[in-house]
Amino acid sequence: MQNTYHSSVFLSKKSDKSDKLSAYMQLHFSVFLWGFTAILGELIEMPAAILVWWRVLITVISLFILLRISKSVVQDLKHHKVYFLIGVCIALHWICFYGSIKYANASIALICMATSSFFTSLIEPIVVSRKLSLKEIIFGLLVLPGMYFIVDSTELDMQKGIWVGLAAAFLAALFTSYNKKYIVEGKETEISYLELRGALVFLSFLVPIMIFQMDISIIPSTMDSFYLIVLALICTTLPFVLSMKALNKLSAFTSTLIVNLEPVYGIVLAALLLGQHKELDPRFYLGVILILSVVLLFPLVSSRNKKTNYVAE
């Protein structure tokens, strides 16, 4: 009997390690796929708002199919109006993110997103009604010298992309903070569906106005259609499902550290696939190193002081 007990404990520990390793690989793969979103945004020739409309449309359809397959119910969730408004915020965030890519390039848009930690340090305490964290504010401010080198190194015609990218980072901090307040454990897929459905409704009113004023077509080219499908299914729906599964198995520290690698993957991919390292000043990479150092160091410092529960974006 005792041998059976020890054997079952051993098998349980072995299974737990295997599950954690699998979750670790799933989350890394998800973040790697997210790194392609900026690359695809640069390859797709459509205006940012129409690009986002197609991305949201395809993603909402795929999430609806997943919910039907799993027989999940979304009608019993509260705060539908809040989820709709969060969806509008997500739509504006994506428009600014891809607008930053169009005005500048993928590398600049990605590194601007790393400043969302600074905005979160100010916004989240207000949203979730907690005290300001001096440590979070200090770490948030530490990204500013890096942004100075990036702005100083870019040409004047690309600096508009930096400001639009910073707006995207602010909006990301805003909807992430509200998600942290209103997320319901075990209902992440349903809530994401409601939020993106709200984004789709908002964009469906915005896009026709753009088409009328700018005289542009909403129909993507053959290559844009291919890129949009990859963006929505491979780089949005798939990593979302994988990351949700992985986050249930990993510690807050591990998951936060891995997710913070998204700008690293994205900038490396932009250099390899788009050759953007040739058009960027060495001061840009100095700024990148400073910002990413702060982003990756923050979870290390936080883990020494207390255990935290992070909610995935």
| Mean pLDDT value of segment 179-196 | 81
Question: For residues 122 and 137, what is the distance between their CA atoms, to the nearest angstrom?
Answer: 7
Taking only the tens place, the pLDDT of each residue in 70-85 is 877 666 567 888 999 9
Q: Name the pLDDT band for 99 (thresholds 50, 70, 90).
A: very high
Question: For residues 38 and 51, what is the distance between their CA atoms, to the nearest angstrom?
Answer: 12
Q: What is the percent of the chain with per-residue pLDDT over 90, rounded to a whole number?
A: 31
Amino acid at 175: F
| Mean pLDDT value of segment 1-7 | 51
Taking only the tens place, the pLDDT of each residue in 255-276 is 666 777 788 888 888 888 888 7
Closest alpha carbon to 93 in 169, 179, 183? 169
DSSP code, position 155: -
- Residues whose CB is less than 8 angstroms from the CB of residue 35 and which lie 6 or more positions away in sequence, other chains included: 110, 262, 264, 265, 266, 268, 269
Comparing 59 with 190, which gets the higher pLDDT? 59
Closest alpha carbon to 31 in 313, 287, 310, 295? 313
| Mean pLDDT value of segment 120-133 | 84
DSSP code, position 263: H
pLDDT of the residue at 16: 65
Q: At what angle do helices 143-153 and 282-305 cross, to 10 degrees?
A: 170
Question: For residues 72 and 86, what is the distance between their CA atoms, to the nearest angstrom?
Answer: 21
Mean residue pLDDT across the chain: 82
Q: Where are the extended beta strands (E) located within the chain?
A: none
Amino acid at 256: T
| Mean pLDDT value of segment 172-176 | 89
For the entire predicted model, the pTM comes to 0.83
| Mean pLDDT value of segment 250-258 | 66
Taking only the tens place, the pLDDT of each residue in 277-295 is 776 778 888 888 888 888 7
Q: Which of 138-147, 227-236, 300-309 has the lowest mean pLDDT?
A: 300-309
Q: Provide Rg for the chain, Cα atoms.
A: 20
Question: For residues 265 and 27, what is the distance between their CA atoms, to the nearest angstrom?
Answer: 13
Sign of dihedral through CA atoms 174, 210, 270, 39?
positive
